[in-house]
């Protein structure tokens, strides 16, 4: 009787051990599948298209400039962040070309101060653009910026275009939020056109 009880307990222990091992294996398989789904390119966890951010840092900025002075952002990029002082004083940069996938652009502090930038080619699906403090300060070759009608928010931070050569700014017709920082166009005597009458702005 005692031996039978011991055998039964041993069998039960083996059965429970086997069930526990199978359960752990199942959890590991689920975890592996989840990791595969999260790492799968072209799809985020919620099924929406993934965000792709490009940040141009100061120590690598010169590597983005082609021989003709053009900076091209990779296709598929959705957010572009140009770091502090990235092209500060750079005499080789002429233009920045953004792919149509870009939705948001941030020009950080002094990122193009005193540079030879002449042109920005903004994408037709851009929604938000931010010019941080002194980002285009003393840029004496850029003449105009035309914002596509998809843009809803523009931020000109303090001194962002101060003492620049900007002549014409054409805002988006769908612009509904415009922030003008202190002295953002201070001593920019060349600025002649910045008409907001055709936008959706209710106040500045």
CATH number at residue 74: 3.80.10
Instruction: Give the separation between CA 147 and CA 82, rounded to whole angstroms.
Output: 18
Tokens (6 digits) for 167: 């002549």
Q: Residue 66: pLDDT band by 50, 70, 90 thresholds?
A: very high
Q: Is there a single domain that holds both residue 104 and residue 25?
A: no
Q: Is residue 120 part of a domain?
A: yes
Q: What is the mean pLDDT of the chain?
A: 83
Instruction: Give the separation between CA 56 and CA 169, rounded to whole angstroms.
Output: 25
Question: In whole angstroms, what separates CA 202 from the centre of its chain?
Answer: 27
In the chain, the DSSP E strands lie at: 53-56, 70-72, 79-82, 95-97, 104-107, 119-121, 128-131, 144-146, 153-156, 168-170, 177-180
Q: Is there a single domain that holds both residue 65 and residue 22?
A: no
Q: Is there a single domain that holds both residue 80 and residue 118?
A: yes
Q: Is the pLDDT reported for residue 7 higher than 80?
A: no
Q: Is there a single domain that holds both residue 69 and residue 137?
A: yes
Q: Is there a single domain that holds both residue 22 and residue 58?
A: no
Q: What is the mean pLDDT of residues 87-113?
A: 98
Instruction: Give the separation between CA 201 and CA 147, rounded to whole angstroms.
Output: 15
Q: Residue 33: pLDDT band by 50, 70, 90 thresholds?
A: very low
Q: What is the mean pLDDT of residues 154-183?
A: 97
Q: Is there a single domain that holds both residue 76 and residue 150?
A: yes
What does the DSSP 8-state code read for residue 74? P
Tell me the residue range of the domain where 5 lies.
1-40
Q: Is 77 helix (H, G, I), strand (E, B) or coil?
A: coil
Q: What is the mean pLDDT of residues 126-130?
A: 98
Q: How many domains does the chain have?
A: 2
Q: Is there a single domain that holds both residue 22 and residue 59?
A: no
Q: Is residue 202 part of a domain?
A: no
Q: Is there a single domain that holds both residue 19 and residue 64?
A: no
What pTM was computed for the model? 0.76
Residue 23 is predicted with a pLDDT of 45
Q: Is there a single domain that holds both residue 144 and residue 63?
A: yes
Q: Is residue 186 part of a domain?
A: no
Residue 121 is predicted with a pLDDT of 96
Q: Is residue 22 part of a domain?
A: yes
Least confident range of 45-59, 115-129, 186-200: 45-59
Q: Is the pLDDT reported for residue 19 higher than 60?
A: no
Closest CA to 107 of 64, 127, 136: 136
Instruction: Give the separation between CA 158 and CA 105, rounded to whole angstroms.
Output: 17
Instruction: Give the separation between CA 149 and CA 160, rounded to whole angstroms.
Output: 22
Q: Is residue 189 part of a domain?
A: no
Q: Is residue 154 part of a domain?
A: yes
Q: Is there a single domain that holds both residue 68 and residue 158?
A: yes
Instruction: Give the separation between CA 169 and CA 101, rounded to whole angstroms.
Output: 23
Q: Is the pLDDT reported for residue 36 higher than 80?
A: no
Q: Is there a single domain that holds both residue 112 and residue 14?
A: no
Q: Is there a single domain that holds both residue 171 and residue 72?
A: yes
Q: What is the mean pLDDT of residues 140-145?
A: 97
């Amino acid at each position: 009787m005692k031996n039978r009880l011991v055998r039964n307990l041993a069998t039960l222990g083996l059965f429970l051990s086997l069930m526990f091992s199978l359960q752990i294996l199942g959890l590991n398989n689920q975890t592996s599948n989840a990791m595969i789904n999260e790492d799968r390119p072209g799809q985020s966890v919620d099924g929406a298209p993934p965000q792709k951010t490009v940040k141009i840092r100061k120590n690598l900025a010169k590597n983005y400039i082609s021989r003709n002075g053009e900076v091209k952002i990779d296709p598929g990029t959705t957010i572009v962040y140009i770091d502090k002082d990235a092209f500060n004083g750079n005499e080789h940069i002429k233009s920045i070309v953004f792919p149509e996938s870009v939705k948001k652009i941030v020009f950080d502090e002094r990122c193009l101060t005193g540079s030879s930038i002449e042109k920005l080619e903004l994408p037709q699906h851009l929604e938000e653009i931010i010019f941080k403090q002194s980002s285009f300060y003393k840029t004496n070759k850029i003449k105009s910026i035309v914002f596509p009608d998809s843009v809803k928010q523009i931020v000109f931070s303090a001194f962002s275009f101060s003492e620049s050569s900007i002549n014409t700014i054409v805002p988006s017709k769908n612009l509904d939020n415009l922030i003008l920082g202190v002295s953002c166009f201070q001593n920019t005597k060349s600025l002649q056109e910045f008409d907001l009458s055709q936008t959706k702005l209710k106040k500045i």
